[in-house]
């Protein structure tokens, strides 16, 4: 996240804190899990890298009466299989990831059951893995470091079907980027290769928000199309569970 982005987020949080001091805000902590995977690897200049993210973390959310809702999120995860092309060799293996993000939403209540939300979400992933493959009957290994960012802007409809069940549908755009660097050994030589791609593509999502033993839970399915030298579909699932309110 750039210094400018951090400054804007800090200003928003300070404003929200001021509103909280006046008794018009609620603070909550949620457990969140997410997983996204493209149907194929991203292709750039004859090289490829898998677009796969996931993990679990904590989300601190501040809901205000007049400014909308803000949140910060951080966590990590383990992905059992990442893939990339390295000097023309296809490699795969496990990877670890750390992520952080921030977001904002504002709700317009059209009736007791229907609301429209304007939503902006930013998340940054740092992914590292040790990948392996084979070339000319010789093992090939590489250390891969990837940075994935996603900025989602959308408009969503919330419809309260009952006291404990709401349906959600949203549409918008995803501004994404991926940078992957691989360093490894091939035939006794140290070789490096990199992949960089970014674009802004459409996305949509649907979800359900409900309560299990009075604990709010949300499950969402997201789908977007990523366009580089090739075009691939990105599917994702997000789950959130309320842990406590302050």
pLDDT of 63 reads 95
The CATH number that applies at residue 80 is 2.40.128
Q: Give the bridge partners for 141, in sequence order.
A: 132, 185
For residues 54 and 33, what is the distance between their CA atoms, to the nearest angstrom? 7
For each successive 10 residues of the chain (246 residues), what is the average pLDDT? 45 44 76 95 84 95 93 95 76 93 96 97 95 81 91 98 95 95 78 88 97 96 95 96 95
Contacts of 128 (CB under 8 A, 6+ apart): 95, 96, 97, 143, 144, 145, 146
Contacts of 31 (CB under 8 A, 6+ apart): 56, 57, 58, 59, 240, 241, 243
Helix (H, G, I), strand (E, B) or coil at 50: coil
pLDDT of 109 reads 94
pLDDT of 87 reads 65
Here the tokens at position 205 are: 């999502």
For residues 207 and 119, what is the distance between their CA atoms, to the nearest angstrom? 14
> What is the tally of structural domains in the chain?
1
Contacts of 21 (CB under 8 A, 6+ apart): none
Nearest Cα residue to 193 out of 39, 44, 78:
44
pLDDT of 133 reads 84
Residue-number span of the structural domain to which 130 is assigned: 3-245
State the DSSP code for 21: H
Q: Are 55 and 69 in contact (CB under 8 A)?
A: no
For residues 3 and 162, what is the distance between their CA atoms, to the nearest angstrom? 43
């Amino acid at each position: 996240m750039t210094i400018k982005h951090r400054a804007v987020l800090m200003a928003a949080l300070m404003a929200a804190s001021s509103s909280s001091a006046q008794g018009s805000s609620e603070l909550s902590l949620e457990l969140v899990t997410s997983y996204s995977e493209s149907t194929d690897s991203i292709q750039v200049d004859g090289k490829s890298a898998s677009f796969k993210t996931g993990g679990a973390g904590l989300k601190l959310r501040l809901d205000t009466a007049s400014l909308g809702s803000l949140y910060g999120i951080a966590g990590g995860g383990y992905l059992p299989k990442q893939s990339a092309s390295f000097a023309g060799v296809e490699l795969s293996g496990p990877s670890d990831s750390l992520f952080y993000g921030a977001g904002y939403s504002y709700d317009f209540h059209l009736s007791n059951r229907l609301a429209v939300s304007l939503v902006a979400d930013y998340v940054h992933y740092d992914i590292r893995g040790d990948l392996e493959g084979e070339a000319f009957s010789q093992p090939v290994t590489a250390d891969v470091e990837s940075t994935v960012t996603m900025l989602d802007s959308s408009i969503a409809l919330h419809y309260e079907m009952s006291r404990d069940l709401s349906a959600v549908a949203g549409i918008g755009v995803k501004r994404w980027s991926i940078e992957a660097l691989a360093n490894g050994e091939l035939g006794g030589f140290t070789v490096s290769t990199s992949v960089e791609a970014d674009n802004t593509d459409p996305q949509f999502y649907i979800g359900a928000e409900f309560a299990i033993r009075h604990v709010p839970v949300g499950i969402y399915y997201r789908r977007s199309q990523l366009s580089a030298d090739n075009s691939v579909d990105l599917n994702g699932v997000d789950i959130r569970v309320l842990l406590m309110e302050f």
